[in-house]
Amino acid sequence: MKTSETPEAILQKANEWLTGNYDNETKEQVDKLLKNSDNTALIDAFYRDLEFGTGGLRGIMGVGSNRMNIYTVGAATQGLSNYLKIAFSELPQIGVAIGHDCRNNSRLFAETAAGIFSANGIKVYLFEDLRPTPEISFAIRELGLQSGIILTASHNPKEYNGYKAYWDDGSQIVEPHDVNIIDEVQKVRVDDIKFNGPKENITLLGSEMDARFLDNVVTVSLSPDIIKRQKDLKIVYTPIHGTGVKLIPMALEKMGFTNVIHVPEQDVVSGDFPTVISPNPEEPAAMKLAIAKAVEMDADLVMASDPDADRLGIAIKNDKGEFILVNGNQTVLIFLYYIITKRKELGLLKGNEYVVKTIVTSELVVDIAKKNGVEYFDVYTGFKYIAEVIRENEEIKRYIGGGEESFGFMPLDFVRDKDAVTSCALMAEIAAWAKENGRSLFEMLQDIYLTYGYSKEKMKYVVRTGKSGAEEIEQMMVNFRKNPPKQLAGSALSVVKDYETLEEKHILTGEVLPINQKITANVLQFFTVDGSKVSVRPSGTEPKIKFYIEVKDVLTAPDQYDAVDAKTNHKVDQVMTDLGL
């Protein structure tokens, strides 16, 4: 039922799609939206242009300026083409790689983009079928290309698709190129898009690039001798219907593991994700089938990747023999603890190594790095910022790992984005190493807490869709800036970091310090006297505002784990109440 009159600007934009250079099927769907007595879908489809942000595009598929379709993909690709020809004007030939995931329309969008790049005189290397995001990053570097894109909406529900753009180092695009590309994309009108370029400008990539990628993946190994002895480790792996289905089992086999157990229902490649509501390894429901298979087979480790195989989720046995999910912060801790410990053992820490985490990731990473004499960097959310640190320290310092709380890790720098393929290979090795030493991954996690302190993290998000939702999220950030909480879970606020002003305010002393970041971001952080941390930020790709909560405690003995866990869980709940969540 129509609840209000449709704004004139939306009617004008919809009518432009009815009369402009759009295909007939698109026009028919726009006409249906205009004739529908309920104008909700019409408004949401046209109230804005789907923004090409610093991470590319992401949105619901359908007709309209605020939807993922061949025209919004086309405008993004034409704008990127225009900028590439400016940025690399000295090159005789510009080249790009294109990949896509399993989502509905991903192949269509990938082929549409290939035709547009080709029409602009750009050489295209298009993967023959779906491939993991990290392989697209790798291919750009391997082939010496100037850019690349992948069509994926990562772990979003099936209604979504997306478009991620990469630069010549295999990283997602950062300043100044990000804003320059956005400027070019915003100039593009439908009549400017050059569809259907010559096919001779398009080369297909397949198994040969897979082999080159996997040859690099296995270089992550620090304990090949242990894998030989623990090769029959029982590993359950699920791609959750996505691009990991082929290469991750191949990577595990190439590492030397012989007992990889599949989840047949989720090996089915499908953009409808038939066994899950959301194909996100962060969600317990997405891991349910894999855990059931692990219980059935008495497995040692459960691993899952999201649809474009850049995120990794794991489940491990606790001290009661029950499979429990490991959160993204814990996953980062396990990776970095192993990498640093093993490199020390092998004499591979030379003093110039460093790790990277995002500002919303557990502060225990800092403690692990400091106590082992390893430098660390804090960056904004997004692996493009981790890649930027690597680029700035190339040939000077050695990157040995970096990650973020949202289930992403990048073990080596031959890929410049989060990488579930290499991460799965390394996590399997870590499980083998623990088993070789008479430990489980759960006991290894306890060892970390015993040595560096206990940390409990939780991420809570609030979803607000559409135009009104975006405005509500914006107002929530305004309110937190004007009225920050005075205490959280009974502990007084000590520091407020505002990345929009790049100021760090110390509440108790009144001191204001600059924050060492190159650019601003719409992020707030609250630190308390007892070491708790809360980060608040609107998502850059989804209609959400996210709250990252971390509270601290001390674990003195393994048998105190459950008590400390329960205590910190209660404290997290108190923090959420204080935040009004």
Give the active site residues.
Answer: 154
* Exposure b/e, 326-350, CB count within 10 A at least 16 = b: bbbbbbbbbbbbbbbbbbeeeeebe
SS3 (DSSP) at 362: coil
Residue 517: exposure state from Cβ atoms within 10 A (0-12, 13-18, ≥19): middle
Residue 91: exposure state from Cβ atoms within 10 A (0-12, 13-18, ≥19): exposed
End-to-end CA distance of the chain: 31
CB 116 within 8 A of CB 185: no
* Exposure b/e, 30-65, CB count within 10 A at least 16 = b: beebbeeeebeebbbbbbeebbbebbbbbbbbbbbb
Q: Return the bridge partners of 236, or none.
A: 261, 302
Element (H, E) at 521: none
Residue 515 is which amino acid?
Answer: I
SS3 (DSSP) at 122: coil
Dist CA 98 CA 110 (whole Å): 7
Which pair of structure tokens corresponds to residue 514?
């600059």
| Number of Cβ atoms within 10 Å of the Cβ of 178 | 20
Residue with tokens 């320290």: 393
CB 292 within 8 A of CB 322: no
SS3 (DSSP) at 131: coil
Dist CA 143 CA 147 (whole Å): 11
Measured over all CA atoms, what is the biggest interatomic distance in the chain, rounded to whole angstroms? 71
SS (H, E, C) 237-302: EECCCCCHHHHHHHHHHHHCCCCEEECHHHCCCCCCCCCCCCCCCCCHHHHHHHHHHHHHHCCCEE
Residue 436: exposure state from Cβ atoms within 10 A (0-12, 13-18, ≥19): middle
Element (H, E) at 525: strand 524-528
Closest alpha carbon to 58 in 48, 43, 68? 68
